[in-house]
Chain A
Amino acid sequence: MIADIIISGLINGSVYALLAIGFSLIFGAARIVNLAHTAFYMLASYCIYYATHRLGVHPIPAMLVAIVLVTLIGLICYKLFIDPIREHEAAVLIATIALAMAMQEIMLLIFTGDYLSVPALVRGYLKIFGVKIAYQQLLTFGVALLILAGVWALLKKTRVGLAIRSTAQDREVANLMGMNESRVAMMTMGVSVGLAAFAGAVVVPLKVVDPHMWMYPLIMMMAVVVLGGLGSLKGSFAGAYILGFAESLVVFLIPLGAFLKGSVALSIMIIVLLIRPEGLFGIAFEEER
């Protein structure tokens, strides 16, 4: 039972971490609440489905193509719809919701509401501590950790990462230091959408693909980000695993209430916010930045 919870929690947490870090990045660097983040994740899933089932391409090249394609689409959408209205935060919020709805509808049009799936990269399973784990789940977990490490390396060791981090810390001063703030925002958007697409590629063999698959991950991802503190990558990472474990605990300890896992996770978020209104690792005074 414990083994089940730990393994399930780790896998869930990694998926949320992938999504949350992308969301946190774009919020920190460009102050954009991109509610269409998980919609890009859905877009990547559909691309992979299309490539593997309709075109007969092998899953791995399909995933790479999907990631590149979705990142491009994300950048185009950003340039067309979000960049012009960046100062009006409320309008940006609505624009991203409308974007997500538009993507959902387009997917519904092309693929209809049927439930679809994407083939697993590796078949079969193994037993660890008496728990049957599918190889695909392990693969997902491993790749998620790799990508997280990659993002960490990008942010800490490269100049691009430095630019992103400094813009996130203080936009005006970064501008004064000679960093083209809107270009940094574009790059961050690219990395963010790329991460969402990566999450789609890595996670989607485990899940069912349908045009509404973006809603639940969106809510959980926002809970993770708020719990960890907006704009804080450490926080998103920690929050993802906390809520991932919370979900596993609910499903295993209360089988009759397994459907409540979303509500429980959100309640945890609210309780933490009551004690610490800026999240676990967030910054108390936004005006100080």
Chain B
Amino acid sequence: MGMLGFYLRKLITIFKGEVLVLPSRIVVFLFFLVLLLLPVVSQDPYLLRILILASIFAILAASWDLLSGFTGQMNFGHALFFGVGAYSSALLNLHVHIPPWGSIPLGALAAVLAGLIIGIPCLRLRGTYLALTTLAFPIILMGIVFAIPGITGGELGVSGLSRLSSSRLYDYYITVVLMLGLCTIMWKITDSNTGIIFHAIREDELAVRTSGINVTRYKLLAFSLSGFFAGISGGLYAHFMRIAGPSTLEVSMSFTVVIWAVFGGIVTIYGPVGAVFILFPLLEFFRFWPEFRMLMFAVVILLILLYMPNGILPWVRDKIEKECPRCKIRNVATRKTCRVCTASLD
């Protein structure tokens, strides 16, 4: 009993010392809390559906950021991973009767393979060449999908898949927990040694190579990791919608992912996640004006980019937090002195 009290007090101290100190961390904590406890307040299936889809797309957008934001390999064909993950888990589920908890990881592995396949030709390409080449891959795959309709179902896709779970509530918790978990993992990756190397590859590839690091291996690793997470989101999507169709490979899907990530802020994992949770419900909300929906969406994006070209979340973060000039630790913007080194924050 005493032990429990001890750990509880320790938890509270850590909480007060680490989380409550910075508004951005409070926001993240509240985000976790709200998502996990939402079903206590409302179990409206429409609301849950929106959040489930938002979580799935959040994983997708975050995986894009891992590859294109951190490693600088601008990937305009992210729909490829999404589609490969969706189709693979769909086919495995339908023909080999593997249940979702098996077919989704296996589908993600197929997406990893796809990542390696497209990573290898992309090793020598830079910048816009890379972006446009990656754009081509999902289109080619779509052509193949239409060419073998016997297996892929052509434009009808693969349907009749088993559900994620037996109820909407369980679906919700599975996707939300997965999303929070995977995004945290991705964030941890970017904070690790590997993440630093990814950063460096983006900044100056030549310098990284001269430092003796095998750039090829790390680039391929980035492609594979990004493919894995995107493949998981593809598999989740297929099983939630119970159909995997060519719409998962469309150019507009690739573009939408890029839009979300850049809108939310690249080179942060939380940026794309936040952007999806802002933009996707917003798009649904705009449903009340069906003719103007996409137009308003495009206008919102244009305006935000004009004023916050680095993305909306970094902009917000810069407004509510200040960096200490001496020790580089972040502080709440309202503070006058740094919380760690007491230097003046003006």
Contact = CB atoms under 8 A, between A and B. Distances in A.
A and B touch in the complex (CB under 8 A): yes
Contact of A94 (B121, B259, B299): B259
Task: Say what secondary structure dominates the interface of chain A.
Answer: helix
A98 B298 contact: yes
A215 B250 CA distance: 11
Nearest to B260: A94
A221 to B, nearest CB: 10
B305 to A, nearest CB: 5
Given A84-B306, A226-B133, A270 B301 contact: no
A273 B147 CA distance: 25
A43 to B, nearest CB: 14
Contacts of A90: 74, 262, 266
Contacts of B298: 98-99, 101-102, 105
B309 A33 contact: no
Interface stretch (B8-16, B137-145, B188-196): B137-145
Contacts of A279: 129
Contacts of A215: 251
Contacts of B301: 94-95, 98
Contacts of A263: 139-140, 142-144
Contact of B136 (A108, A270, A278): A270
A106 interface: yes
Contact of B305 (A85, A101, A266, A267): A85
B263 interface: yes
A111 interface: no
Interface stretch (A144-152, A168-176, A254-262): A254-262
Given A81-B302, A230-B128, A286-B127, A105 B251 contact: no
A94 B127 contact: no
Given A85-B305, A95-B302, A97-B255, A262 B143 contact: yes
Interface in A271-289: 273-274, 277-279, 282, 286
B139 A219 contact: yes
B268 interface: no
B261 to A, nearest CB: 9
A95 B140 contact: no
Interface string B110-131: 0000000000010011111101
Contacts of B74: 90
Interface of A: 27, 33, 81, 84-85, 87-88, 90-91, 93-95, 97-99, 101-102, 104-106, 108-109, 215, 219, 222-223, 225-226, 230, 257, 259-260, 262-263, 266-267, 269-270, 273-274, 277-279, 282, 286
The 7 lowest CB-CB distance pairs between A and B, nearest first, are A263-B143, A102-B298, A105-B295, A266-B136, A277-B124, A91-B309, A98-B301
